[in-house]
Structure 1
Amino acid sequence: MIISQTPLRVSFFGGGTDIAEFYQQHGGLVLSSTIDKFVYIIVKARYDDRIVLNYSEREVVDSVDDIRHNIFRETLRLVGITGGLEITSIADIPSQGSGLGSSSSFTVGLVNALYAFLGDQKGPREIAEIACRIEIEILKEPIGKQDQYAAAFGGFRSYRFLPTGEVEVKSLAVRDNEKLALEGVCRMFFTGITRKASAVLSDQLKNLSSREAELLAIKQIAETSAHVLERGDARGLGELLDQSWQEKRRISSKISSPEIDGIYSRAMEAGALRGKAPGCRGGGVLLLCSPQRSTLSVEGCHERTGPTTVLIHATWNQDPSERRRQCRAAGLAEAPSGASIALY
């Protein structure tokens, strides 16, 4: 039995510049971090040749072609597994419409687990590229490449998307005390509002030619923002997050919604410095920066935004070297990617 554990991510800066239609012309840059919330994929051999899938639904089929779930179906096809296994997917937080890259974390975790099931351990770059191929080339999802790379590599990193299609991956110099400082001032709320990212990104792509200036501004903010993360600068981080989000809101009316705007306004009244919605879907998670002294009032603001708004307690995920140490201590064998693998 194989269990993969793949982190979700918070995209701080540069979201939207990882779409091919933009980076092929101008290059793209995204700064993000994975967090300690995960998608788990469990793969187990069966006694027969059937395929059993357990997610929000349950599928029992005799052929890969009969699978309704697009990512399960196309990943099994690509890997070359035709039957005789059961796969279960679970997640630490609601995985649909969270704005934390859960769909790509699912794909990365599934790719990682299925190749491990076959005894073929892949590296993080290869896993990320395979996941991109499945989601972007095969399924034609109008999405970028940042989420697959963040899930595969893990940690605080920058991802530079070159016009050639290559991706440069660099670690950000965020020390442990700066990570703790950021954890102390950053709060995430799950709003209970969900939309498919593809619907919002389709609208963004449609407006790309007329909104190129906004994406260039988003990229420029990303180019100059690494220092606020590396210093653990809450005020600077909040201001830049807000600037980037305001630019992104101009690209598509679906980036935000009256409900999200209302929650954001109430958070500012409660003492938050600024923030953003890390995804692009007009819902999901809202990331807020608040000074230590106003943390309680900001945390309390979700109680006034409706019964579905929930505070998410998350810490920034460790870099892979630290995760490897923890996996060894827990008796897990980790793949050379952001997703760890347990073998049973």
Structure 2
Amino acid sequence: MSSTITSYSPFRITFGGGGTDIEPFISTHGGFVVNATIDRGVRVSYKDDGHSLEISSRDLLRSYIVGANEHTEVLDRMVELLEVNGVKRGRILLNGDVPPGSGLGSSSALITATLRLIGELRGAVDPPGKMAEEAYDIEMNRFGVTLGRQDPYAIAIGGFKGMAFRGKEFTVHPIQVGSRIFSEIDGGTILVYTGKTRESTEALKDQVQASRSGDMETIGNLERMKDVAEKMLHSALSGDLDGFYSLVNAAWEIKKRLGSRVTSERVERIIGTALSSGARAARLMGGGRDGFVLVLCRPGDVDRIQSRLMSESEFVFRVSLDPQGTRILR
């Protein structure tokens, strides 16, 4: 009997620039984001047991056996992806650390982890950039997800970094492990669950439609978001912690101008509680309204602020930064 192979992709958090990496803005103006991968993610495990291909998901509480199931959306598309790449038997287990649709790039994490597993089985592993491009194409054209380019690239490459995009071209500006800002973020990051998930495609529709129609207010806000993200990277590289946190808050204020579905009363209440309790910065992750609120604190304030945030949510947890991207767990 063959051994189990497990591929892993970390989730990502975004500090600024999310939304500037979406077409058509990215091709006409170029995008810029600052993000980091964290120590929570998605595992895709495979064991060839000689039987029909089976996919089971702890998160979706559902199993799929080829030839024995009706259409099941995500799992159905996953089977298609695996079969077209020659994986036609065995057991696949999908296991994520947070619920899907939480604003942490879970769909990109799932696809990049699956592609890394396929590469391992084939004995031909693509470099992270190529894997990210394939994952982006799969999400857009096979899964029908509206997304920015940052998610698959941030997750496949890993680490704390700035990323510049122009169409399909990208440049990575890493923030080194051990730097002042890396250590601060690594020791002072909390995620707060709003209690609901959401479909990112729906949350991003307003922005995409406005951008395509040439709406000057939307384009102007995206330009400002890009500028703030570029300044954020400069603050991180120079060790300007106060400047970095201030820009994270500024980026969120601009993000809220992109549409009515970006924030909610509950999100704003969580953010207000975090900031009034001494957090340096706070903002919602992902396209909008629900999922996880990112809270950035001084490491010495984490215990007190986390305890205070427990009054707002039953799911409040600390995360550290993961300097690696998608990989096989050995």
- Per the TM superposition, whether the score is higher than 0.5 is yes
Q: Deviations over 1:44-86 (max 9, x none)?
A: 21323x22111121111228995642541442254243x2122
Q: State the Cα RMSD in Å.
A: 2.2
Aligned partner letter, 2:54: V
Q: Residue 284 of structure 2 aligns with which residue?
A: 277
Q: Distance in 2 between matches of 1:173 and 1:183?
A: 12
Q: Residue 61 of structure 1 aligns with which residue?
A: 66
Q: Distance in 2 between matches of 1:143 and 1:228?
A: 27
Flag the 1:241–1:342 CA change in 2: closer, same or farther, 3 A.
closer
Match of 1:170 among 166, 169, 173: 173
Q: Distance in 1 between matches of 2:249 and 2:89?
A: 49
TM superposition shift of 1:109: 0.2
Match of 1:8 among 11, 17, 22: 11
Q: Residue 329 of structure 1 aligns with which residue?
A: none
Aligned to 1:142, the other structure's residue is in SS state coil
Q: Distance in 1 between matches of 2:137 and 2:73?
A: 19
Q: Residue 162 of structure 2 aligns with which residue?
A: 158
Match of 1:219 among 202, 226, 229: 226
Q: Distance in 2 between matches of 1:341 and 1:204?
A: 36
1:41–1:113 contact (8 Å) kept in structure 2: yes
TM superposition shift of 1:176: 4.4
Match of 1:266 among 239, 258, 273: 273
Flag the 1:247–1:134 CA change in 2: closer, same or farther, 3 A.
same
Aligned partner letter, 1:221: V
Match of 2:46 among 36, 43, 46: 43
Mapped pair 1:84 → 2:89:
yes
Q: Which moved more, 1:297-306 or 1:193-202?
A: 297-306
Match of 2:296 among 289, 298, 307: 289
Flag the 1:236–1:185 CA change in 2: closer, same or farther, 3 A.
farther
Mapped pair 1:52 → 2:54:
yes
Q: Distance in 2 between matches of 1:78 and 1:204?
A: 33
Q: Distance in 2 between matches of 1:268 and 1:177?
A: 22
Any unmatched runs of 5+ in structure 1?
A: 321-337
Aligned partner letter, 1:90: N
Q: Residue 331 of structure 1 aligns with which residue?
A: none
Aligned partner letter, 2:187: G
Aligned to 1:128, the other structure's residue is in SS state helix
Aligned partner letter, 1:25: T
Match of 1:179 among 177, 182, 195: 182
Q: Residue 299 of structure 1 aligns with which residue?
A: 306
Q: Distance in 1 between matches of 2:150 and 2:122?
A: 27
Percentage of pairs with the same residue: 27
Q: Distance in 2 between matches of 1:7 and 1:96?
A: 13
Any unmatched runs of 5+ in structure 2?
A: none
Mapped pair 1:316 → 2:321:
yes
Aligned to 2:101, the other structure's residue is in SS state coil
TM-score (norm 2): 0.89
Q: Distance in 2 between matches of 1:64 and 1:154?
A: 36
Flag the 1:246–1:127 CA change in 2: closer, same or farther, 3 A.
same
Flag the 1:272–1:147 CA change in 2: closer, same or farther, 3 A.
same
Aligned to 1:43, the other structure's residue is in SS state strand
Q: Deviations over 1:172-220 (max 9, x none)?
A: 3453453222233332222322111111011221232321111000000
Aligned to 1:105, the other structure's residue is in SS state helix
Aligned partner letter, 1:76: L
Q: Distance in 2 between matches of 1:144 and 1:4?
A: 23
Q: Deviations over 1:101-140 (max 9, x none)?
A: 1110111001111221222222111111110110013333
1:182–1:232 contact (8 Å) kept in structure 2: no
2:281–2:296 contact (8 Å) kept in structure 1: yes
Q: Residue 327 of structure 2 aligns with which residue?
A: 340
Aligned to 1:97, the other structure's residue is in SS state coil
